Structure 1
Amino acid sequence: MSLDYRSIKAVVFDLDNTLVSSSLNFASIRADIGCPSEDDLLTFADNLDCSLQRTNVHQTIVSHEMSDAHSAELMEGCQEFLAHLKSANLYTGIVTRNCIKAATLKLDRLKLDVNELICREHFPPKPAPDSLLALAKQWSLQVSEVLYVGDYLYDIQAANNANMPSCLITHDNQPDYAHLATISVPQLTDLHRLFASNQ
């Protein structure tokens, strides 16, 4: 598959391990809340019958996220790519499964400047396409004019569910779902170079 870079008018990013580093230990979180390895963490938490247990589990997840937010660092080339997109008058956004509190702390600490930030409190979390479709509508763009960039299966599934082009950041480790993305690149800096040379 290929991407028509000239038709792209907005680039939306996942946050963790796409724009910023993340040290979240999902095995540790699962152990803390009793979530089976085959279950999605957020779905597991939401589906707990006991409201008190559900609240406690969500608070445990948020606690892990806040700790991670304090240690996150910019991924290589992040600020340069965002500056390039801004100079080219492209909209930018972040769609993350993080809670608002942790995501906002990461953006504030690392001085990330994007047009919109969407977290799990705003829309059903990825791989649901709702957040991506909402951004396209807000910006009066066709979904084909918005590129979603992420590093995990949920990111690519969310883009595909929105009929939106996607870019998978592989971190030099090609996963078995890479073929589901419109394009894949080893690092964020590689995507920057593709935009710079094709616009």
Structure 2
Amino acid sequence: MTLDYSSIKAVVFDLDNTLVSSSLNFTSIRHDIGCPQDHDLLEFADNLSCDKQKSSVHQTIVAHEMSDAQNAEVMEGCHELLTHLAQHNLYTGIVTRNCIEAATLKIHRLKLSVNELICREHFPPKPAPDSLLALADLWSLNPSHILYVGDYIYDIQAANNANMPSCLITHHQPTDYQHLATVCVPQLTDLHRLFASHHLSA
């Protein structure tokens, strides 16, 4: 698959390990809340039948996320890419499975400038396409004109479910699902170069 950069009117990003670093230890979190290691954390928490236990589990997850938010740093090339996209009048957004408190803290601490932020409180979390489709509606864009950028299979699945092109940030580590992405790049600086090359020749 190839990406037609001339058709892209907006770029939406995952947050953790895409725009900012994350040290969340999901094995440890699963252990803390009694979630089997092969289960999705958020799905496990939401499916608990006891409201008190569900609340406690969600609080534990949020505590881990807030701690992580205090230590996150911007990924190489993050600000430069966001600035480039803004200069060329492309909408930008973040769709994350983070809670809104942690995501907002990361954005404010690290001075990330994007048009929209969507967290798990707003819509069903990825790989559900709801958040991405909501942004398409908000911006009055066809989903095919929005690129979703992330570093994990949920990101690529969400984009595919929304009929959007996707970019997988590999961090130089091959995966068994990278063939599902429209384009793969090692890091944000590489995506910046691709956009800059297109805009220079346009």
TM range (shorter): over 0.9
Q: Whole-Å Cα distance in 1 between the matches of residues 188 and 37 of structure 2?
A: 29
Q: Distance in 1 between matches of 2:131 and 2:74?
A: 23
Match of 1:29 in 2: 29
Residue 28 of structure 1: how far off its partner (Å)? 0.5
After TM superposition, list the pairs within 5 Å mapping 1:102-181 onto structure 2: 102-181=102-181
| Paired-residue identity, % | 78
How far does residue 67 in structure 1 lie from its aligned partner after superposition? 0.1
Q: TM-score, normalised by structure 1?
A: 1.00
- Quote the offset at 1:198 in angstroms: 1.3
Distance in structure 1 (CA, Å) of the matches to 2:9 and 2:103: 24
- Structure 2 counterpart of 1:92, which letter? T
Q: Tell me the alpha carbon deviations over residues 79-102 of structure 1, each in whole angstroms, 9 at most, x when there is no partner.
A: 000000000000000000000000
Aligned position for 1:76: 76
SS in 1 for 2:168: strand
Runs of 4+ residues deviating >4 angstroms: none
1:37 Cα deviation from its structure 2 partner = 1.0
| AA aligned opposite 2:99 | C
User: What CA deviation, in whole Å up to 9, does each residue of 1:50-97 have, x standing for no partner?
Assistant: 000000000000000000000000000000000000000000000000
Q: Which runs of 5+ in 1 are unaligned?
A: none
* Structure 2: distance between partners of 1:143 and 1:113: 22
In the superposition, the TM-score normalised over structure 2's length comes to 0.98
Instruction: Kindly report the root-mean-square deviation, in angstroms, between the aligned alpha carbons of the 2 structures.
Output: 0.4
1:2 aligns with 2:32: no
* Partner Cα distance (1:161, 1:141) in 2: 16
* Matched letter for residue 41 of structure 1: L
Give the drift of 1:38.
1.1
